[in-house]
């Protein structure tokens, strides 16, 4: 258990300041997040997430990201992934599926 704590402390120390602010438009959460994380100058996975939601006109919602907007985004992304073609089957009984269309559109990559 103490080894695990040591490893977690090392990881925490290696996390840097927040990434550049991720501006996510309501209604296009997946597209905005995908654009943000695939841009090498905008996103660094070693940084904390810093999320701001905007409406279609670009006006911010006004929430400060103390965890709420990030949690909201991550929950929305998980729902989007569950409902995508990556999983097949009825609700509660889904299984992974190969989505050729998604692969061709570069929505995800398979790495070995």
Is 70 within a domain?
A: yes
Is 109 within a domain?
A: no
Is 110 within a domain?
A: no
Structural domain harbouring 78: 2-104
Q: For 68-78, how does the pLDDT look when each residue is reduced to its tens digit (9 = 90+)?
A: 888 899 999 99
**33 contacts: CB under 8 Å, gap ≥ 6:** 22, 24, 73, 77
Is 111 within a domain?
A: no
Is 65 within a domain?
A: yes
Q: For 24-63, how does the pLDDT look when each residue is reduced to its tens digit (9 = 90+)?
A: 999 999 889 888 888 877 777 778 788 889 988 888 887 6
Is 112 within a domain?
A: no
Is 10 within a domain?
A: yes
How many domains does the chain fold into? 1
Is 36 within a domain?
A: yes
């Amino acid at each position: 258990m103490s080894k695990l704590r040591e490893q977690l402390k090392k990881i925490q120390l290696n996390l840097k300041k927040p990434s550049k602010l991720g501006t996510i438009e309501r209604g296009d959460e997946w597209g905005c997040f995908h654009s943000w994380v695939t841009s090498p100058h905008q996103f660094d996975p070693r940084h904390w997430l810093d999320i701001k939601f905007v409406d279609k006109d670009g006006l911010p919602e006004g929430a400060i990201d103390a965890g709420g907007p990030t949690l909201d985004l991550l929950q929305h992304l998980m729902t989007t992934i569950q409902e995508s073609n990556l999983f097949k089957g009825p609700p509660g009984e889904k299984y992974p599926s190969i989505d050729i269309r998604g692969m061709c559109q570069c929505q995800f990559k398979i790495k070995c």
